Amino acid sequence: MCLKALIIGYGSIGKRHISNLTKIKNIEIIVLTKRPVDSFLKKNRCKVFKTIKDSISEKPTFAIISNETYLHMKYAVILAKSGIHLFIEKPLSHSMNGIDTLLSVSKNKKLTTQIGCNLRFHPCIKKIKEILLSKKLGKILSIQIENGSYLPDWHPNEDYSKNYASQQKMGGGVILTCIHEIDYLYWLFGKITDVFSFSQKLSDLKINCEDLSSILMKVGNGTIAEIHLDYFQRPPVRRGKIIGTLGTIIWNIGDNGVMLYNAKTKKWTDLLKLKKYDYNQMYVEEMSHFIKCVKTNTSTINPLSDGIQTLKIALSIKHSSKLKKVIKV
């Protein structure tokens, strides 16, 4: 069975998806971009179009929406109405406009959907999910998550100030751009009921959106979670801690390590310690999972409904900071 994959947007993540798709058998790649056809596209025999109409005329099996955040809904709805399965890069959008339409069309067309939050496929996060399901931590009392990095270092060969992540009108800002932490918190613990946040621009970065967000959340079972996100931290940090009545788990995605403290034995145990981990493997796994679900007509690990819920949480965080009060999600 030959599948046709349509990639919307030819930035760094679009190029990564193209590269990974070329390693999967029986996939024809179509790219929608206004950028010039370069050697990479030619080498990988991609069909390139400049309009959505021409792209859809190729009858793609599924589409990967990897353009700027504020354009996600525009293309997602058009593609969904054409019966094309959807993989939408995070975040789902920058607002709730068009969300109900997309959800309704996707259900009516029985489309397979997935939000591109690749950390759900990272060994650390998968191990934490496993530990939580085993109840080894007992009752969860506190959650702390931190993700900080220096925005200009993300793509050193590009002008960061022109990137969508730097511009409010394009759906930028640290809350939406770094929504991974919000997403996997929701995946690990479920419903988020209340949020409170201080979010603002503090650094001298040439951006017009928030570069810091300090967030408090109340999880459905009453547990309090704290999330710190920033665009200016050097060296980069991505780690967390979950404290329970029976023990504590800490992880560091930078070191690909997870440790468990047993409150009874008073000892730490390494649950995961990868000396070498290919960062691209997460993207390979998430795309393989999506394609498998498209072929079998089954739900993905992160369907549209999850993306909507995570977006609601992120927008509530923004709203909380603006009003300076606790917001019900």
Q: What average pLDDT does the structure give for the chain?
A: 97
pLDDT at 207 over 80: yes
Q: Which residues pair with 202 in a beta bridge?
A: none
Domains recognised in the chain with CATH numbers: 3-118+284-302 (3.40.50.720), 122-275+310-328 (3.30.360.10)
Quick check: helix, strand or coil at residue 6? strand
Residue 183 above 90 pLDDT? Answer: yes
Is residue 1's pLDDT more than 80? no
Query: Which residue spans within the chain are E strands per DSSP?
Result: 3-8, 27-32, 47-49, 62-65, 85-89, 113-116, 140-150, 192-200, 212-219, 224-230, 232-244, 247-252, 257-262, 267-273, 327-328
At 270 the pLDDT is 97
Read off the pLDDT of each residue in 51-69 and give the average, rounded to a whole number.
98
pLDDT tens for 97-150 read 999 999 999 999 999 999 999 999 999 999 999 999 999 999 999 999 999 999
At residue 36, does pLDDT exceed 90?
Answer: yes
Residue of 283, 314, 293 lying closest to 92 (CA atoms): 314
Taking only the tens place, the pLDDT of each residue in 307-318 is 999 999 999 999
Indicate the pTM of the whole model. Answer: 0.96
Q: Are 310 and 182 in contact (CB under 8 A)?
A: yes
Buried b (16+ CB within 10 A) or exposed e, 108-133: eeebbbbbbbbbbbbbbbbbbeebbe
Return the SS3 of 161.
helix
CA 181 from centroid of its chain's CA atoms = 8
CB count within 10 Å of CB 22 equals 13
The predicted pLDDT at position 221 comes to 86
* Residue indicated by tokens 């589409």: 63
CA distance 149 to 161: 15
